[in-house]
DNA sequence: GTCCAGGGCCGTT
DNA sequence: AACGGCCATGGA
């Protein structure tokens, strides 16, 4: 049986319901006057091949010392930043990446994320991809979850699921992204797309953590009637 | 002890 | 273009 991005969304939404994805610390940003979007940006870098629990620890380290804003990070002592982000692993490169991005935003946009995001989507994306340590997934996460730009985020989970489901595309980043965006942008209204991209990515993550793990747990999987992998297991 | 988590870079084929 | 090694911590 065929499956489309829209039906994938509907099935997963029915199964998991609404998710509170990529939360930011409202109290912290209210108290300090910092931009909550920058917390998302930093989180997007720190979560590279890392468990979110460890990212939360790093963000807490930064917030407990009131360091989580663009101007402060752009001037931070790199050794201190390494110490703060250590729980997320790869802390040398991640500290460099976070500081580098903060410096970039500070010097080119005076640390103002409104002027950074208030431009053409492709333009912002190209710009993010130029920066060291910002690949397609991190760029798109920043665009979608910090910038509220309509772009679908593809991650390792999305690739895994696409490989197992009967989806006839080669599972590269761009192919998968186009596959999702082409279908969803046709079937949903423009004012719904942002929410759909946002929620579907979150649903894919929870689905991959619950059922479509590296060692899959197909017994109660809501997609098993569609899935090549689940059928192979029952043979 | 082993596996793996909300990737990206760089060098080799 | 695609692949492999590398970066590194912490929880299961």
Decide whether A5-19+154-234 matches A34-146 in CATH topology: no
Give the per-residue pLDDT at A102. 98
Residue A17 predicted with pLDDT over 80: yes
Domain ranges (residues) in chain A? 5-19+154-234, 34-146
pLDDT at position A20, please? 76
**Mean predicted confidence (pLDDT) in A33-50:** 97
pLDDT, residue A134, reads 98
What confidence tier does A2 reach under pLDDT thresholds 50, 70, 90? confident
pLDDT for the residue numbered A21: 86
Q: Residues 216-235, chain A: which have Cβ under 7 A from strand B?
A: none
Rounded, the Å distance between the CA of A163 and C1' of B13 is 24
Checking if the pLDDT of A233 tops 70, the result is no
Could you tell me the pLDDT band of residue A234, with boundaries at 50, 70 and 90?
Answer: low
Percent with pLDDT over 90 in chain A: 90
Spatial distance between the Cα atoms of A154 and A171, rounded to a whole number of angstroms:
10
A88 sits within 7 Å of strand B by its CB: no
List chain B nucleotides near protein: any atom < 7 Å from a Cβ: 3-10
Concatenating the DSSP letter of every residue in A92-138 gives HHHHHHHHHHHHHHHHHHTT-HHHHHSS-HHHHHHHHHHSTT--HHH
User: What integer is the mean pLDDT of A210-215?
Assistant: 92
Q: Any idea which nucleotide's C1' is nearest the CA of A87?
A: C9
Residue A3 beta carbon within 7 A of nucleic strand C: no
Beta carbons within 8 Å of A189's beta carbon, 6+ residues apart = none
Tell me the mean pLDDT in the region A63-81: 98
Q: Which CATH number fits domain A34-146: 3.40.50.450, 1.10.340.30, 3.30.930.10, 3.90.1150.10?
A: 1.10.340.30
* CATH code given to domain A5-19+154-234: 1.10.1670.10
> For A116-137, what is each residue's pLDDT tens digit?
999 999 999 999 999 999 999 9
């Amino acid at each position: 049986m065929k499956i489309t991005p829209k039906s994938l969304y509907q099935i997963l939404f029915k199964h998991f319901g609404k998710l509170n994805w990529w939360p930011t610390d409202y109290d912290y940003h209210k108290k300090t006057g910092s931009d909550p979007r920058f917390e998302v940006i930093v989180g997007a870098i720190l979560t590279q091949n890392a468990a979110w629990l460890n990212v939360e620890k790093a963000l807490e380290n930064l917030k407990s010392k009131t360091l989580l804003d663009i101007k402060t990070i752009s001037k931070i002592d790199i050794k201190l930043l390494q110490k703060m982000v250590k729980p997320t692993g790869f802390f040398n490169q991640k500290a460099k990446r976070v500081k580098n991005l903060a410096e970039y935003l500070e010097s080119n946009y005076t640390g103002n994320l409104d002027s950074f995001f208030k431009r053409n989507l492709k333009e912002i994306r190209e710009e993010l991809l130029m920066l060291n340590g910002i690949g397609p997934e991190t760029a798109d996460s920043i665009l979608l979850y910090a910038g509220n730009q309509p772009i679908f985020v593809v991650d390792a989970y999305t690739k895994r699921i696409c490989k197992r489901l009967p989806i006839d595309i080669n599972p590269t980043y761009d192919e998968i992204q186009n596959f999702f965006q082409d279908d969803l942008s046709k079937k949903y209204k423009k004012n719904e797309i942002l929410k759909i991209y946002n929620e579907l990515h979150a649903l894919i993550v929870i689905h991959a953590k619950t059922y479509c793990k590296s060692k899959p747990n197909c017994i109660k999987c809501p997609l098993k009637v569609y899935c090549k992998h689940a059928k192979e297991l029952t043979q």
